[in-house]
Amino acid sequence: MPTAKSTALPLPVKTAPAAPAVRPIKKLMAANRSEIAVRIFRAGTELNLRTVAIFAQEDRLCIHRYKADEAYQVGQGKGPVAAYLDIDSIVAAAKEHGVDAIHPGYGFLSERAGFAEKCAAANIKFIGPSPEVIRKMGDKAVARQTAAAAKVPCVPGTDGPVDNQREAIKEAQRIGFPVIIKAVAGGGGKGMRIVHNAAAFSKEFDSARSEAEKAFGNGAVYIEKYIEQPRHIEFQMLADEHGKVLHLGERDCSVQRRHQKLIEESPSPFLTPKLREEMGKVSVRLAETIGYQNAGTIEFLVDKHGKYYFMEMNTRIQVEHGVTEEVTDIDLVRRQILIACGEKLELSQKDIKMTGHAIECRINAEDPARN
């Protein structure tokens, strides 16, 4: 692959005193591996940036290492997962090699407020929202409270974490079975249990807390009404640092296995134009309320009657971002980089058009014999 020229990205001149400072980016690191790292390097190369890969010892022959202009090993001796979670090693490598900005991709450190803070302390631009927003929306109980304050419909549930079984069972009976127990720090379906009656509640409550503690180091859980046979609809957001927020339509992620998405498509075959417009406006309002910047996704559950409820916000690019790119013809990763440079979104909501239909299918590696 030809080496990208190390020249500054051409950016607009700041015109208003209150506008964020323009930050020319010359060297971009992907704090990730595999497909998303390659995707970041493609966008960076198209913007004439020099790209930097990181890799664990076990990934030294992986393709993403060779798709970047430079590549450096991180997390020596920590293994193929922990290496990409080694904040100090990654930030140190970025500083040593003159990196201006870090794109976290998805997974790993993409929703760690502490990583964004370490980048800022090292004078490296974190391509994503502020640490404060990551922290607020990463705590699902706080995110629910924030959404409710912005008048976004929420699934009936507890106002925050529930600490003991007796209190939890009372709350579940108040909400009405079936309920779902969810980890406050959850993700990937971990620390989630569906409970259909009071007799099964105590066992599932303890099980969810134990799994959450092991997976996230935080055993706190909250309780919501379980919406049976819902559609899982998420809206893609883009927001610049000048206050403009847009949605790029929805993705339907209803086909799942163990709370993990299997098929994502856009546009949703379920939403009517009226419902799409209403949910889009609600999503924009929430993003504006929290001062969101960069790319993010707001997720909803929609029942069979078209009533929708806020579920969570992912403060990063999604695995399925390509589905939205196909139907809107907007390069989300490129936009993320330009927003991080301080550029304004020149688009308006009426400019966003969805053309055609796109579907993504995930392939999961499993051993069925071991469940």
Active-site position among 251, 316, 334, 370: 316
Report the DSSP pairing between strands 125-126 and 193-195. unpaired
Query: What distance, in Å, lies between the first and last C-alpha atoms of the chain?
Result: 42
Distance from C-alpha of 286 to C-alpha of 8, rounded to nearest angstrom: 34
Query: DSSP assignment of 254-301, as one string?
Result: EEEETTEEEEEEES-SS--HHHHHHHHHHHHHHHHHTT--EEEEEEEE
Residue pair 176/195 in contact by the 8 Å Cβ criterion: no
Measure the CA angle with vertex 243, ends 239 and 248; round to 5°. Answer: 30
Q: Is 316 a catalytic residue?
A: yes
Report the DSSP pairing between strands 101-103 and 27-30. parallel
Measure the CA angle with vertex 320, ends 315 and 322; round to 5°. Answer: 110
Can you say how many angstroms the Cα of residue 211 is from the centroid of all Cα atoms in its chain?
Answer: 22
- Give catalytic residue positions: 316
